[in-house]
Amino acid sequence: MFSWGLDSLLAIKILESQNIDCTALTFITPFFGEEKAKKQAEKFWIKFMSKDISDIHFDIVKNPKYWYGKNLNPCIDCHGLMFHLAGKIAIEQWFDIVASWEVLGQRTMSQNKQSLNAVIKLAQIDILRPLSAKLLPETKYEKEWLIDRSQLLDIQWKWRYRQIELAKQFWLKDYEAPGGWCRLTEPWYADKLKSLLEKFPQDILPIDAEIIKYWKFKIFDRWFAVMWRDKESNQKLLDTKPDKKEYILLKLKETTWPDCLIKNIKNGDYIKDIKVWYKEKVSKLKDESFSFFVV
């Protein structure tokens, strides 16, 4: 399991030091992607694999068993799902070990002993955590001598001086700085998605979570709308429009942009409200004599 950070790189290097052939696995959802992970894997000559799990992951975001973290991040349920899927991939492709970058105590909610055990129960597989293995129960991989436990580590908590020293030993340079990599942990985004799920709990899809990432956003009685003012982002809006009848793209007749993307969930009459919203957000429209056409 590969999250592009230093801990992921170190977990792989520790396994490789025992002559274990490693493949980095990254999952793709609307909330995190493969770009940084793929770049890091290529940079450090690591075999890489990714899989899009947007639909099944979105169900967990809407209804997690272990609830959320500080924002809308269901970390325990999310990790459990990803490891469960990793276990299936391991069986299908004849991998012997499923391993993780996790460090005991580094994340208050998702990386304490109780949470790590909960992830194992959800995943229904054994998980090797090379960076903290000596502080955790022995896995079947160690019991079966697939890996030497004595060469694994006992890193814990948030301090990173041991990881930095290990990076020097493994000649790892220019690695990514530690930090969050899931958009659900970001308050500005979590608040938007939460408001959508509260208003239209049965109608919000993974593509909607993608749509609201970048643009000005407004929820109305029967629909929601997004738009942006600069031309580059406006083009992203055009590229993101789903090919479904409930998604309506409005373009101004008087100018080339900004466009507006609407999801008309309950067949609401949107034209009057959208004009008012446009007026509030787009200062260059000096009067109300503008009109739209539907793309």
Task: For residue range 191-202, list pLDDT tens digits in order.
Answer: 999 999 999 999
220 and 270 in contact (C-beta within 8 Å)? yes
Residue 280 half-sphere exposure, CB side, CA atoms within 13 Å? 9
In whole angstroms, give the CA distance from residue 29 to residue 141. 29
pLDDT, mean of residues 210-228: 90
**For residue 29, what pLDDT is reported?**
96
pLDDT at residue 287 greater than cutoff 60: no
Residue 284 is predicted with a pLDDT of 56
pLDDT band for position 18 (cuts 50, 70, 90): very high
Nearest residue to 249 (alpha-carbon basis) of 290, 285, 293: 293
pLDDT bucket at 153, cuts 50 / 70 / 90: very high
Work out the burial of residue 19: count CB atoms within 10 Å of its CB; fewer than 13 is exposed, 13-18 middle, 19 or more buried. exposed
Picking from 224, 163, 170, the residue whose alpha carbon sits closest to that of residue 193 is 224
| 153-162, 174-183, 229-238, 260-269: the lowest-pLDDT one | 174-183
pLDDT in tens, 23-51: 999 999 999 999 999 999 999 999 999 99
DSSP string, 65-119: SS--SSSS--HHHHHHHHHHHHHHHHHHTT-S--B----BTSSTTTSSHHHHHHH
Mean pLDDT of 71-100: 97
Res. 291: pLDDT tops 70: no
Q: What was the pLDDT predicted at 99? A: 97
Dmax over CA atoms of the chain, in Å, equals 76
Nearest to 248 by CA among 200, 295, 209: 295
- The percent of residues in the chain predicted with pLDDT above 70, rounded, is 93
